[in-house]
Structure 1
Amino acid sequence: MSYLIALDDGHGMNTPGKRTPRIPQLNGRVIKENEFNQAIVKFLDDELKRCGFKTLLVAPTDNDTPLSTRTRLANSKGADLYVSCHYNAGGGEGIETYHFKGSKAGKRAAEIIHKHVKVAVPRKDRGVKTANFFVLRETSMPAVLIEYGFMDDPGLEEAAQMIDPQVQKAFAVATAKGICEYFGVSYAEDKPPKPKPMYRITVDGKFVVDTAYEEKIKQAVEDAIRKEAKEIIVKQRDQ
């Protein structure tokens, strides 16, 4: 069975107030919350698809899609889990995960996902909590909302990490692992692509080039033919 996961990158790129203070570590740069939210959802989308899930992006543009539009879409498509990705504010620090009070499935999903997320990047564990957030209350499937850090933590260290791809990817991997565990699905590791085989080209017994690129192989052979070579050998180097 292929489960459908609704992914929500909280807020929009220009939602008022959803941004960091000026960050000294980044030469005074201000980061919008959705810069992180959107990036982690993209990573999470890839992670889940590789693990065999279907995904539904409920706010796929930079606009601040109304919450009712997001939940209505997830409900209409029959999503099996709703995951909303956020970055906190209020001067605190650390990670916390929310579910709707009274939802046993939501609580279980939040606890499992939080277990993975809280160790992905060294941060204070603020625990699993309940809240009456719209996206938790109005979804017909289990729903979780994750606050991966604070945009205004005391040292602005968590804030500065919002645009770090390694941090974004680490949180996405951890979230995907939690979702996999919740549904009893094996997590599929991201395997790097195999390197292209290297070929050695010799012409009339003389070495010409070692290359993995088809264009270079083609060019070397064409040059040899044009020079009326008697023997052209293209051989994979590990043979």
Structure 2
Amino acid sequence: MSYLICLDDGHGSQTPGKRTPAIPQLNGRMIRENEFNKAVVNFLDQELKRCGFQTLLVAPTDEDTPLTARTNLANRKGADLYISCHYNAGGGRGLETYYWATSSKGKRAATLIHNQLIKSGVERVNRGVKTANFHVLRETHMPAVLIEYGFMDDPGLVEARQMIDPKVQKAFAVATAKGICEYFGVSYVPETPAKPKPMYRMMVDGKFVVDTAYVSKITAAVDHAVSSEAKRIEVFIRD
């Protein structure tokens, strides 16, 4: 059975107020919350598809899609789980995960995902699994989870700076996917590492010329050797 997961990157790219303070370490840059949210959703989309899930992005543009449009779409499509990705504010530190108070399935999903996030390798204060009267938790017909992955205005702005770190974004997406897999009893399928390019070695008249992974460089070197009337040209894959 293929489950449908709705993915919600909180807010839009221009939503007023949803951004960090000016960050001195980034030359005063202010990071918009959706820069993080959208990146995590995009990574999570890839992770879930690789694990055999169907996904639906309920806010696929940079506009601030109304919450009712998001939840109505999820309900109309009959999704099996709703995941909303956010970054907190208020001067605190750490990660917290929310569900609708009367949803036992939502509580289980939130707990499993939260536990994976705490083990993600990204250092976070564990602020726990909580209930809240958020629209996306209240108005969805399926279990729903809202995650606050960190604080945009934490002391020292450490978590704030991490919002644009692809390694942090990816680590959180992987951990969220693992929690979703655990909830549905689906095996998590890790990404297959890309195979390294072969390294080519070229010798001309018994002398070393070049080691390279680029065929174009070997081709150019061969052309040069031929034009120089080399007697013996050897190209082979290096161990």
Report if TM-score (shorter chain) is over 0.5: yes
* SS across alignment from 1:38: helix
Query: How many pairs were matched up?
Result: 238
Any gaps of 5 or more consecutive residues in structure 1? none
Deviation digits for residues 173-213 of structure 1, max 9, x if unmatched? 21111112112222223343111122233455554433322
- Give the partner amino acid of 2:69: T
* Matching residue's letter, 1:65: T
Asked whether 1:60 is paired with 2:87, we answer no
Q: How does 1:26-41 map to 2 (within 5 A)?
A: 26-41=26-41
Q: How far does the alpha carbon of each residue in 1:18-66 deviate from its partner, in whole angstroms, 9 at most, with x for none?
A: 1222233434322211111112112222222333322221112111011
Residue 212 of structure 2 is aligned to residue 235 of structure 1: no
Distance 1:159 1:209 in 2: 45
Partner of 2:106: 106
| Structure 2: gaps spanning 5 or more residues | none
2:54 alignment partner AA: K
Q: What TM-score results when the alignment is normalised by the length of structure 2?
A: 0.87
Name the % identity: 74
Query: Residue 172 and residue 225 in structure 1: after superposition, are their counterparts in 2 closer, same or farther (change >3 A)?
Result: same
Aligned partner of residue 64 in structure 2, secondary structure: coil
**Alignment partner, residue 158 of structure 1:** 159
- Tell me by how many angstroms 1:166 deviates: 2.5
Question: Cα deviations across residues 55-107 of structure 1 (Å, max 9, x unaligned)?
Answer: 22111211101112212222233322111000112233221111112212111
User: Are the structure 2 counterparts of residues 97 and 237 from structure 1 closer, same or farther at C-alpha, using a change threshold of 3 Å?
Assistant: same
Say which SS state the counterpart of residue 163 (structure 2) adopts. Answer: helix
Residue in structure 2 matched with residue 144 of structure 1 by the alignment: 145
The Cα of 1:223 is off from its aligned counterpart by 4.6
Task: Give TM-score, length-normalised by structure 1.
Answer: 0.87
Cα separation, 2, equivalents of 1:151 and 1:208: 53
Q: Report SS of the residue matched to 1:174.
A: helix
d(CA) in 2 for partners of 1:28, 1:220: 48
Counterpart code for 2:102: G
Measure, in 1, the Cα distance between the counterparts of 2:10 and 2:195.
36
Cα distance in 1 for partners of 2:113, 2:62 equals 26
**Partner-residue secondary structure (3-state), 2:55:** strand
Matches within 5 A, 1:46-195: 46-120=46-120, 121-195=122-196
Q: Distance in 1 between matches of 2:93 and 2:213?
A: 49
DSSP 3-state at the match of 1:30: coil
Q: Which amino acid aligns with 2:215?
A: E
Once superposed, what is the RMSD of the aligned Cα atoms? 2.3
Alignment of 1:191-210 (within 5 A): 191-203=192-204, 205-210=206-211
Amino acid at match of 2:12: G
Greater mean alpha carbon deviation, residues 34-43 or residues 148-157: 148-157
Q: Is the partner of 1:28 in helix, strand or coil?
A: coil
Distance 2:192 2:217 in 1: 27
In structure 2, distance between residues paired with 1:109 and 1:32: 27
Where 1:145 maps in the other structure, the secondary structure is strand
Deviates more, 1:11-20 or 1:116-125: 116-125
In structure 2, C-alpha distance between the alignment counterparts of 1:93 and 1:10, rounded to whole Å: 19
Secondary structure class of the residue paired with 1:163 = coil
Supply the distance in 1 between the matched residues of 2:213 and 2:35 (Cα, whole angstroms).
Answer: 37
**Whole-angstrom distance in 1 between the partners of 2:153 and 2:36:** 14
In 2: Cα distance, 1:154 partner to 1:200 partner: 52
